[in-house]
Amino acid sequence: MAIEHFQATAHLQGGTLVKVRSRGFEFTLDEPKELGGTDTAMNPVEALLGALGACQAIVASAYAKRFNVQLDDFWVELEGDLDTDGFMDKADVRCGYTDIRYTYHIKSSSTQANIDEFVAFIGTKCPVGDSLMQSVNLQLVGVVHEK
C-alpha cells in the first residue's frame, strides 16, 4: 500500500480572507460580500468545485492514452446546491453541498465507444470525487492556544 501524506495550512488574514499554503504554493480564499467577505477571491465551496473539476481533468489527461482517446481539449463545468442558512446558523439545515453536478466537454477525434469507456473510468480514479462520495474520517487532533 502506498499511502502518501498531504498537508496544507489555512491562515486567516482578517475578516473572511484566508491564505492557503501547501508545498510552497499558496492561494487566497474569501467570501462574497453577502456572506460577510470582501469578495476578493473565490470562497471555499467554489474552490471545492474547482478542485473536483481539476482532479477530473488531471485523471483525463493521465489516462486518455490507455483508452485510445486523443484529447484535443477537455474541461469540466460544475455546479452545486448549498443552503447558506446552514453556514449562517439561520436554520437547522446541512451547511454543505447537497448536490453537485458536472459536465465534461471533450474535443476529440476518438470513437464514441472509446470516449464512453474513458468517461466511465474518470470518476473511478479521481481522489477528490472519491473523498466527496465516500465517508472520510475528519477529526480535530488538537488546539494550540497561544497568548
Asked whether residue 120 falls in the same domain as residue 48, the answer is: yes
Name the CA radius of gyration of the chain, rounded. 19
Asked whether residue 58 falls in the same domain as residue 109, the answer is: yes
Q: How many domains does the chain have?
A: 2
> Where in the sequence is the domain holding 18, given as residue range(s)?
1-41
The proportion of the chain whose per-residue pLDDT surpasses 70, expressed as a percent, equals 100
- Residue 147 forms part of a structural domain: no
Closest listed residue to residue 95, CA positions, set 86, 85, 107: 86
Q: What pLDDT is attached to residue 90?
A: 86
Degrees to nearest 5, angle at CA 62 with 99 and 24:
80
Query: What is d(CA 8, CA 24) in angstroms, rounded to the nearest whole number?
Result: 10
Asked whether residue 48 falls in the same domain as residue 100, the answer is: yes
CA distances from 87 to 20, 83, 95, 126 (A): 20, 8, 5, 27
- Residue 146 forms part of a structural domain: no
Reported confidence tier of residue 88, pLDDT bands at 50, 70, 90: confident
Asked whether residue 56 falls in the same domain as residue 125, the answer is: yes
